[in-house]
Amino acid sequence: MMNRLDKDFLWGGAMAANQCEGAHLEDGKGLSCMDILPSVQYGRKEAMYNPQLALTKKYGYYPSHEGIDFYHNYKEDIKLLAEMGIKAFRTSISWPRIFPNGDDKEPNELGLKFYDRLFEECRKYNIEPVVTLSHFDTPLNLSKKYGGWYNRKLVDFYLKYCKVVFKRYAEVVKYWISFNEINMITHIPFFGGGIILKDDDDVMQVSYQAAHHQLVASALATKLLRDISKNGKMGCMLAAGSYYPYSCNPKDVWAAVEKNQDMYFFIDVQARGGYPSYTKRLLKKKGVCIKIAAEDEVIFKKHKVDYIALSYYSSRLISVNKKVLKNIADGNAVTTLRNPYLEATPWGRQIDPIGLRITMNELYDRYQKPLFIVENGLGVSDKVDENGEIHDDYRISYVKEHIKAMKGAIADGIECLGYLVWGCIDLVSAGTGEMEKRYGFIYVDRDNEGNGTLKRIKKKSFWWYKKVIESNGEEL
Ligand code: BG6
């Protein structure tokens, strides 16, 4: 039993290229899928579920085009994060910054140079970069020309990109994540797989086939990393949060089992090396039949991931009772119900720290591989007071309770590599494109319409998290 955290525990923060970098066409970068989405006030929800519309329509404001201008501001930002004492910084490499069209012959040297500088800056402060290879930003050209991840050709384009970045950064990056929240593809196919559905497409058929291609790509990327890098570790990543049954009615309990299997389906392949026993039932129920190439089973078996990364925002809830089913809550794109025992944020996301301990126990029992919490945090608006300060006690309380729950899970015997707070610097929300849904310890002066100076301000939580890290999680 371990009560104290390992001295090498990776405390830190996480961001993603498309939500922070901006500079969306600078230095040769191509358009990513996220670059054609407006913010929620201009119709993001409609556009992300119907990207055909987003391809043709001109919106008033595209938040990813400037993000928080991390592309130009990264030095100041990394310095601030270093001052907070973080040990690890998760970001993603923007695939269309390296291969602007996805199918280019040669990589874009200027894009690579940016990440040279960024990782060098991290290393200067002894910050461990944790790098996601694909975080919702498939090059738009691959969506338009090939149909996104529904097309198996994407596997080769992705591996070409992986080879370039593995070779280039093998010395500076140890922790890699093949796909951000791989299970997201069956909830928002455009985010997860760059898929632009046509009117007569069968959503489930297309997204599970695309998921299969990503699973193959992830396993082959794991192989590639091992061929290229001596120390590299590959992680899969789940948008986690266990489903609870709404009641003790066995039908509710079974519904929760099925919902959980629908999530673990992906990680079972990546961590256990093959499709799980319930695959046939799960796919039949969805009316899906996936094409699997002869070599795929061997690929899965041979190239399993080293660790399980997870994002956790809340537990989820399911019932078979039609009346109860009407009472939905925000499950970060995943269906969930209002849990009467939990408080919710103004954005409708429920707060359940114990759920983190439950989720971690489930994942560790199932896979017995180290876990890595690479996203957790509270997205709410903050107020700058007349002294220019932000007193975000609510965020401190959220993070504190989740750290306690994580420590509980570690005391349960779970191996956990680290804890990264999502959007450690305020950034553009993936779900709504807003800036006002803030997660950061560092405030960014920018509003939902793109106004503001982009000035960074340390919030009260900045100083609190600094102490947490200094005391290795003892002082909460
Ligand atoms: C995760 C994503 O699903 O949740 C992030 O990996 C995202 O990209 C985060 O930002 C929080 O969701 P949102 O919609 O509040 O930005």
Place of tokens 């599970």: 208
Q: Compute φ and ψ for 32, nearest 5 degrees.
A: -105, 165
Atom 9 of ligand 1: nearest residue by CA position:
430
Topology, domain 10-470: TIM Barrel (3.20.20)
What is the rounded CA–CA span in Å between residue 351 and residue 355?
9
Which numbered atom of ligand 1 lies nearest the CA of 239?
Answer: 3
Which of 376, 345, 344, 346 shows the shortest CA–CA distance to 359?
A: 376
Among the residues of 229-273, which ranges form H helices?
Answer: 250-267
* Residue stretches of the chain with pLDDT short of 70: 1-3
Query: What are the extents of the domains in the chain?
Result: 10-470
- Kindly report the backbone phi and psi dihedral angles of residue 19, in degrees, each rounded to the nearest multiple of 5, phi listed first: -100, -5
The DSSP-derived string for 187-230 is T-HHHHH-----TT--HHHHHHHHHHHHHHHHHHHHHHHHHH-S
Q: What is the chain's mean pLDDT, rounded? A: 97
Count each helix (H run) and each strand (E run) in the chain, helices first: 17, 16
- 434 in ligand 1 pocket by Cβ < 6 Å? no
Q: At 146, list the tokens.
A: 């090939």
Per-residue tokens: 174: 């140890």
Q: Which of 375, 380, 425 to mutate to test the pocket of ligand 1 (most atoms within 8 A of CB)?
A: 375
**For residue 1, what pLDDT is reported?**
46
**Residue 400: exposure state from Cβ atoms within 10 A (0-12, 13-18, ≥19):** middle
Q: 450-469 burial by CB neighbour count: b if 16+ within 10 A, else e?
A: eeeeeebbbbbbbebbbebb
H or E, element range at 77: helix 70-84
Q: Establish whether residue 182 lines the binding site of ligand 1, counting it when its CB lies within 6 angstroms of any ligand atom.
A: no
Distance CA 132, CA 92 (A): 4
Is any ligand 1 atom within 6 A of the Cβ of residue 345?
A: no
The backbone torsions φ and ψ at residue 316, rounded to the nearest 5 degrees and listed phi first, read -125, 165
From 375, 415, 436, 470, the catalytic residue = 375
- Locate the ligand 1 atom nearest the alpha carbon of residue 428 and give its number: 16
Q: Supply the pTM of this predicted model.
A: 0.97
Tokens, residue 27: 């230095």
Tell me, what's the ipTM?
Answer: 0.99
- Which residues neighbour 109 within 8 Å (Cβ) at sequence distance 6 or greater? none
362 noted as active-site residue: no
Q: How far apart are CA 102 and CA 31, in angstroms?
A: 10
